Amino acid sequence: MTISAAARTATTKATAAIGTTTTSAAATTTTPTTAYNIANRLPGKSAKYEKLIKQPQMQSGLGRTSVTGTQTDADTDADVDAAAGAAAATVTATATVDATANCGNHFSKHFGNGNVYAPAAVSRSPATPPTDLHTHHITDRSMLLPPPTSTAATMEQHTSNGFLASGIVTYKAKTNGNNYDFNSTSSTSIGSSGNGCSGSNNGNGGASNISSFCNLIARRCYGINVRRCVYVLFAITVVSILYYTHYVGTDMVYGLIQRDTHPAPIINCRMMNSAGKHIRDASPAPDHRSEARLRIDPKVLVFVETTYSGLGRDIAELLVYNRIKYKLEVAGKSLPVLTNLDKGRYGVIVFENLDKYLNMDKWNRELLDKYCREYSVGIVGFVSPSEETLVGAQLRDFPLFIHTNLRLRDASLNPSSSVLRLTRAGETAWGALPGDDWAVFQHNHSTYEPVEWAQRNTQEYPADSVGQVQLPLTTVLQDRGQLDGIQRVLFGSSLRFWLHRLVFLDALSYLSHGQLSLSLERMILVDIDDIFVGEKGTRLRPDDVRALIATQRIISGMVPGFRFNLGFSGKYYHHGTREENLGDDFLLQNVQEFNWFSHMWKHQQPHLYDNLTLLMGEMQLNYAFAKEHNIPTSSGYSISPHHSGVYPAHELLYHAWKRVWNVKVTSTEEYPHLRPARLRRGFIHRNIMVLPRQTCGLFTHTMYIDRYPGGRDKLDESIQGGELFQTIVYNPINIFMTHMSNYGSDRLALYTFQSVIKFLQCWTNLKLASAPPIQLAEMYFRLHPEEVDPVWGNPCDDARHKKIWSKTKNCDSLPKFLVIGPQKTGTTALYTFLSMHGSVASNIPSPETFEEVQFFNGNNYYRGLDWYMDFFPSESLPNTSSPMPTSVGSPRFMFEKSATYFDGEAVPKRAHALLPHAKIVTILISPAKRAYSWYQHQRAHGDIIANNYSFYQVITASDSAPRALKDLRNRCLNPGKYAQHLEHWLAYYPAQQVHIIDGEQLRLNPIDVMNELQRFIKIQPQLDYSNHLRYDVKKGFYCQAVSEKRNKCLGKSKGRQYPAMDERSAKLLQRYYLNHNTALVKLLKKLGSRPIPQWLKDDLSTGT
């Protein structure tokens, strides 16, 4: 008789649950605990459980089953414990149909989970006494064999010649959510005859086919208990894994743990289709430029509450990031000078706290408003948060009301706003907005128009939102200036919200009439460093390469010309697993799909090489690899591993790059420093253009989305308005550094760049494009010509720089102080006096400029830091000529004297970058006397112009005069503008590091001057110059006393007597330097503790 579908289903569920079930011949019932047992026994959603039921042979007419065997009850109990502890996915049980013996309980005890139960498909008469389970021994262990999983599941129950038999039934449990579906997947009915069993494939059942391997294991397990059998299987598994790992490869192991967790971009724009094109033809971004911009400078005046205020710092950083000039002023003080002749100095006025503008004193408020009206200058104001909550409070003198300390959500922009240019309206920034101190505006005048709206956060105010329609609240407001003639943009919150940063830049553009507009062109290049360098298991496989190509095609549809830029170190080609090596091959089969650039052959750091030939040899190996595999070698672009040798510059690297690869462009994230990223810049050195490189938040160890620092939310935050998004917005040229490992595993780089580009298209009007590195470099330096010249910093002040700097260099040899001049003030005499001190040493003389290196001005600076440091050996040489002899290795105060530094325009900045802690020493004499002395110096050295023009003709030469004459005029007059040049130095060095020497006192009383200088430099021990300096009557100045009767004086060119200056020239110079000398007096008084020199007093009294 065939079991009905309902009974079969009930039987299946009961057996799989290993629950307690009672059945009769007519019907089958299941206890209510079945579902509970199933749920508790399933370990997870992906679990798959199988139960095999097989009936052993039984003899008809006997009251019990006829069995033989050797397994004891002790073995049985041990097997029960082992089976229960292993929690195996496949559980085997046998259902017997002996009406007089409950063999189901026996097999459940031995091979189940320890529960005793009756088979669901068998009915037992209550009158039949149970069989003693402990009298049974097991002969048939074939119940341990795994069932075939491909046969149809049936279950038959019938009688034949007095025999009752049941077949093998396998049950699998699959989960979908919290619902479990148990289905019978295989079954065989075994017909019994007098001599044994015979199988058939008819409707009554089919024979079970078991694989030969499983039969072998079953035979080996015969006579062995289940625990030992499990141990044997486990040992075979471990040995197999170790064998494949060692001899075949690790692909199998990695395949076992590989997860399909590749995140898919989730950026959806209502205004864009799947191809990244706007649904409606978007109108071009408005052009804010007007003629009014011609009357103002592109500079922002920022009023802050304090120099340390948070919002003020954010505003300043945002302006620096976008290279917008600004001036910071503390509100409440007097206004700075607002005009320069007939032009306004500032294009926009920004108030960190709007209250400071509204409550400004009447005089300053009227003055500022008048400036804004006359020069069409706009105002940006931020409502500052406060503890007091305002409800409908009116702003002073404006028909405008605000509500403060609100929590908002879901920001959107006004598509009709004329302020928006960079920012695109049409989307909504869903979710809670940062902060709980938002202010919103209410107005009743047509001069006001919302720029940004938001909704009240109903989750924070649930009671207020019941049954009400939430109206949009104005969070950014435009004032068109119809009331008082001044245009304004007011913000209800700070720059914490990423959208406010974009609107703020648009406000600067709009209010400055386009003078502060940013270009909407953005170039993007993505470098993939080390495409062949990586540990096994982290490298690219063929599927990863296919995904790389597919994503590149998607991005190129949004960014014209986009191609990934692959960097290679050929030594590590084919250093992965078998599948990863196939990935390497697949890359090279598609070499034409990408751009390529070189690293080093073995990924070495170039700064470790001190031999040019060896360095070039490593590069040539990589070059040969490229040629062998048809990789292009003409990109003119290369990246040094870890940015080694690029900055700080290792000169050998630049030479080798030129000779082997003809490199024209490189990039680094280390110039001038890694952080802050907004200050990264470019430069040109040895005719190689160095571009700033950006990071995207992905590093070599960020391979899996669930292991990303901060989780996926943190990465998405960077993409959706965060750091990565803003990096592209603020930088016209973007070169991103990524690593090969970011494109395998979870392929985070593909997700990141596809998402951020889509987000940029949603929220901005930026025009994205890509180009090869050489093109990008040429564009960059056209945009920023001021960055062509490098600024060499001190490698020892940055731990990252020190790691990638030559080990043969030592910062201790750099100068501790500089004598900066100006010329013809006594700098050579000071140099001589300092050299007399045993603890003081200067640079090695230059064959071209003698004791002066003249590094920070002129072409010597472009020779690089290595060239400069060669003048300062790291090992101190003994000073045997000094009155204070020193030994080798004794500490020395190194210094440099170059008199041309004083008035060099770029010198203070360059000197401070390399020597920020150095002391600055300058000597001042009468500027008129200094100018005349320089003229006579040039005549003595045979200068043609000086010998053909009188001094008066030189100092009165017009701008239309011959160039040589103008150059001599400038060298005579410009250095004497002392206050102007000192201010320039004081902009970089604090007053405590600047020492001003009166040149007349140095000539008349050098002993006191030198003693004071020693105290300033803090030289120990001090030299008593009274025993070593003596006035020389013939020379007319002090010289070094070599012995009691002999002096060692400067050469014939020093201390030369000149004819007196003509009276006409003297009066002209007194008038010329009057304002400069007056400024110098004010500066010296401001600095304090600096007496006014007598020559300065005389020049001022004569000039008046």
592-617: string of b/e by CB count within 10 Å (b at 16+)? eebbbbbbbbebbbbbebeeeeebbe
Given a contact cutoff of 8 angstroms between Cβ atoms, the answer to whether 746 and 454 are in contact is: no
Given a contact cutoff of 8 angstroms between Cβ atoms, the answer to whether 430 and 410 are in contact is: yes
Angle at CA of residue 236, ends 235 and 242, nearest 5°: 90
Q: Beta strands 488-491 and 378-382: pairing type?
A: parallel
Residue 614: both structure tokens together = 């060896």
CA distance 521 to 322: 14
User: Residue 29: which residues within 8 A CB-CB, separation 6 or more?
Assistant: 10, 21, 22, 23
| DSSP reduced 3-state for 968 | helix
| DSSP reduced 3-state for 11 | helix
The Cβ of residue 865 has, within 10 Å, a number of other Cβ atoms equal to 24
The Cβ of residue 991 has, within 10 Å, a number of other Cβ atoms equal to 16
Angle at CA of residue 114, ends 108 and 118, nearest 5°: 40
Amino acid, single-letter form, for residue 686: R
CA distance 489 to 383: 11
Amino acid, single-letter form, for residue 834: L
Residue 271: both structure tokens together = 């205004």
CA distance 630 to 29: 74
Given a contact cutoff of 8 angstroms between Cβ atoms, the answer to whether 558 and 598 are in contact is: no
CA distance 968 to 935: 8
| DSSP reduced 3-state for 332 | coil
**Order of strands, sheet of 49-53, starting from the edge strand that comes earlier in the sequence:** 90-93, 49-53, 168-176, 179-188
Please tell me the number of Cα atoms within 13 Å of 320 on its side-chain side: 14
Residue 811: both structure tokens together = 């910062």
Q: Beta strands 179-188 and 168-176: pairing type?
A: antiparallel
Given a contact cutoff of 8 angstroms between Cβ atoms, the answer to whether 993 and 919 are in contact is: yes
Amino acid, single-letter form, for residue 202: N
The Cβ of residue 253 has, within 10 Å, a number of other Cβ atoms equal to 16
Angle at CA of residue 83, ends 80 and 88, nearest 5°: 160
DSSP 57: P
> By C-alpha distance, which of 270, 352, 365 is closest to 311?
352
> By C-alpha distance, which of 106, 107, 108 is closest to 17?
108
| Burial label, 904 (beta-carbon count in 10 A; 0-12, 13-18, 19+) | buried
Residue 154: both structure tokens together = 């049936």
List the catalytic residues. Answer: 824
User: Residue 902: which residues within 8 A CB-CB, separation 6 or more?
Assistant: 820, 821, 822, 823, 922, 975, 981
Given a contact cutoff of 8 angstroms between Cβ atoms, the answer to whether 374 and 366 are in contact is: no
Given a contact cutoff of 8 angstroms between Cβ atoms, the answer to whether 650 and 605 are in contact is: no
Angle at CA of residue 35, ends 34 and 40, nearest 5°: 100
> What is the DSSP secondary-structure string of 770-817?
---HHHHHHHHHHH-GGGSS-----GGG-HHHHHTS-TT--GGGS-SE
| DSSP reduced 3-state for 974 | helix
